[in-house]
Structure 1
Amino acid sequence: MSALRKGFRFLFQALEWFAMICMVILTIIVFIDVILRYIFKQGFPWTQEVATLMLVWFSFIGMAIGVLEKIHISIEMFTSKLPEKAIAVLESVDHVLMAVFGGLMIYYGAVIMNMTKLSTMPATKLPSAVLYIILPLSGILVLLNAVLVAARQNTRIFPENAPEKEDSENA
């Protein structure tokens, strides 16, 4: 079981790094393009497509990571006043809905990729499916993360500061 946990930990750390790299590339490309356009009155024709690609990939990977870490925006004003059993039921429904959403992303992402596989992006000449491949991939991650979070409800999957929490509870 610990090998599986280490494997998941490695996978999601790699995803976090990939998301960070996408954001860095996005920032650098947009910065260079702004400088070139405003100072030199000329830019590269491919920057908008690559920046869009990096933004989409970053967003969908970030969404999958947010499901795992339970860091999405939520309204607790109403649920905090409910009994614990009602909160548990709502969290279970939440996990099921996230898993269904992940499944829909897988299905419709594959449909969109199939529809765009023959077209290319105008500036980079990459297949348009490159932009949409992240939909089924992040759908798989959202589905997997929803199941992982549901299995370990009320506990973090990868506790970062576990020894510190124990020390603070004992104090």
Structure 2
Amino acid sequence: MRTFLRGYSAVLAALATGALWVAGAGLVLMTAAIAWQVYGRYVLGSTPRYTEALSVMLMAWFIFLGAAVGVRERYHLGFDVLLYFLPPTGKMIFRSISDAVVMAFGAGMVIYGSQLSQGAWSATIPTLGVPGGLSYFPIIAGGGLVCLFTVERLLQRWSGLNPDDDPDNSDAGNAGLEKV
């Protein structure tokens, strides 16, 4: 199990890094598209029509990919005051319940994002000339990553590889793996 978790975590670490690179590239491209829109409007006197739709689509990608990586790295807000008063087993149970809720949310993103994508596929985004269903792919990808990253955390916790309360643990995404 520990060998599997090491490999699984290594693959997900690479996937998270790739997602951050895609999100960063999307942010840069969106900034360039908006700059081109402003330049076209105020300097050329003709606004490029595709820039707004492209910017919104790129923004969805970097938001959902970045949020999924935030789940893996535990950068999202949490309310864990009660956990300070619980024994280790209670902490593990409550954190696992929290992770199950996060995973259910990620699964909902995949399921309902897929339904939205299928429903809008026949429409076309006029300024881009692509199917409207492509607008919902970031929701599906982000939800899928949230599920994968949450499964990783649950497996680590329940196999004893990821002590959530380790104060020396600064790399939360790969916590505990170096101690095996």
**Normalising by the residue count of structure 2, what TM-score does the alignment of the two structures yield?**
0.79
Instruction: Confirm or deny that 1:47 pairs with 2:47.
Output: no
1:72 is paired with a residue of what secondary structure? Answer: coil
- Which structure 2 residues correspond to residues 21-170 of structure 1 after superposition, within 5 A? 21-76=25-80, 78-79=81-82, 81-85=84-88, 86-153=90-157, 154=164, 156-158=172-174
- The CA distance in 2 between the partners of 1:116 and 1:63, in whole Å, is 24
Q: Which amino acid aligns with 1:158?
A: N
Structure 1 residues without counterparts, runs of 5 or longer: 163-171
Instruction: Confirm or deny that 1:11 pairs with 2:48.
Output: no
**Normalising by the residue count of structure 1, what TM-score does the alignment of the two structures yield?**
0.83
Q: Which amino acid aligns with 1:12?
A: A
CA gap of 1:116–1:96, structure 2 versus 1, over 3 A, is same
Q: How far off is 1:81 after superposition?
A: 4.8
Deviation by residue 1:108-137 (Cα, 9 ceiling, x = unmatched)? 111111101100001111101111112222
CA RMSD of aligned residues (A): 2.0
- Asked if the contact 1:148–1:157 (Cα under 8 Å) also holds between the matched residues in 2, the reply is no
- The CA distance in 2 between the partners of 1:55 and 1:45, in whole Å, is 17
Once the two structures are overlaid, the 10-residue window that deviates more, 46-55 or 146-155, is 146-155
Structure 2 residues without counterparts, runs of 5 or longer: 158-163
Q: How far off is 1:7 after superposition?
A: 2.5
Identity %: 21
- The CA distance in 1 between the partners of 2:111 and 2:12, in whole Å, is 23
Q: How far off is 1:71 after superposition?
A: 0.3
- The CA distance in 2 between the partners of 1:59 and 1:96, in whole Å, is 22
1:133 is paired with a residue of what secondary structure? Answer: helix
- The CA distance in 1 between the partners of 2:116 and 2:11, in whole Å, is 30
Deviation by residue 1:53-73 (Cα, 9 ceiling, x = unmatched)? 000011110111011000012
- The CA distance in 2 between the partners of 1:150 and 1:128, in whole Å, is 35
Name the counterpart of 2:161: none
